[in-house]
Amino acid sequence: MPELPEVETVVRLHRDLVVGRTIHAFVSRWPRQLTPGPAAFKRAVVSRRISHLGRRAKWIVANLDGGGHLLIHLRMSGRLEWRKDAASRPEPAHARAYFDFDNGSRLYFCDARKFGRLMFLADLKVLDAELGVEPLGAEFTVKKLADLLSARRRALKPLLLDQRIIAGVGNIYADESLFRAGLHPLRHASRLKSAEVQRLHAAIVQVLTLGIQHNGTMIDWIYPDGNMQDHLQVYGRTGKPCLACGTPIVGLRVGQRGTHVCPQCQPRRGLRRPVRRAASINRRSDLRLAGREARPRRQK
């Protein structure tokens, strides 16, 4: 759930609390989420001082004195909780790891679903090599977006969600961007008119900026800080009237993701041609059935 604006909010809320602090101890209760393994990770971060806290895409990036970076990815349900005095209160729910600092404070990494990741990286280039352009960075221009769109034969929404192309947009902000640009999520990326590319560029920048201004979107119990949910126009509004035209918002699935569109404001003109080969369709459904049958049941 945490996307670029939520991660940015978390970074801003914690920057003054951790920058300048030296990590005295690190404890993990779920070592599987560490890269490298527990021993190497601990060795890499303990007794190091945090010189800066920033963000790359959806990664929280803590620069460490003497080089190297401590990276945190919240994935679905990860969150940070800072305590001035480590022993003052009971641990927060789902505490999976914590960092103890030189002044007695403690930073918990909590994660109900355990999908989050903690990583030590000696060189940020490794991360940069896997991530696309920062949508709020200077290099994200209309021309840059036009180049990215024209280079790929793909539907718009999966492209927006692909972190290797544009880094930081997730499901909520993808839907909101497409709505504000008046573009259907299944529109073919390389077939947009230049005016449409311009609208999409402006929509992405505006909706992410708005998200940051509102401290992100509060989803269920995860983010108590933000109020961007009050400004979403399509996400989670299936069946409710479009705020622009009153047409009921439609929920559909695009690339296995829940997707929300206004069929009036986001016309399907220019839609990708559907796959028409019956053999291909049959083969796919056969595979799907076979896969479902063959999938082993989860062991408790």
Which parts of this chain interact with DNA (CB under 7 A)? 1, 3, 30, 32, 57-58, 73, 75-76, 94, 112-115, 130, 151-155, 158, 161, 163, 170-172, 220-221, 255-258, 272, 280, 283-284, 287-288, 291-292, 294-295
Q: Give dist(CA 58, CA 74) in Å, integer.
A: 8
Q: Give dist(CA 184, CA 182) in Å, integer.
A: 7
The smaller minimum CB distance to DNA, of residues 29 and 84, is found at 29
Closest CA to 204 of 173, 229, 237: 173
Q: Give dist(CA 83, CA 269) in Å, integer.
A: 53
The smaller minimum CB distance to DNA, of residues 66 and 274, is found at 274
Copy the structure tokens of residue 233. 């126009």
Min dist. Cβ of residue 160 to DNA (A): 10
Copy the structure tokens of residue 119. 């990583």
Residue tagged active-site, from 257, 263, 267, 272: 257
> How much of the chain is in helix, strand and coil states, percent to nearest 5?
35, 25, 45
Whether 2 is catalytic is yes
The smaller minimum CB distance to DNA, of residues 3 and 196, is found at 3
Whether 257 is catalytic is yes
The smaller minimum CB distance to DNA, of residues 139 and 293, is found at 293
Whether 3 is catalytic is yes
Contact 56, 124 (CB under 8 A): yes
Residue tagged active-site, from 58, 79, 117, 237: 58
Min dist. Cβ of residue 163 to DNA (A): 3
Amino acid letter, residue 223: Y
Q: Which residues are catalytic?
A: 2-3, 58, 257
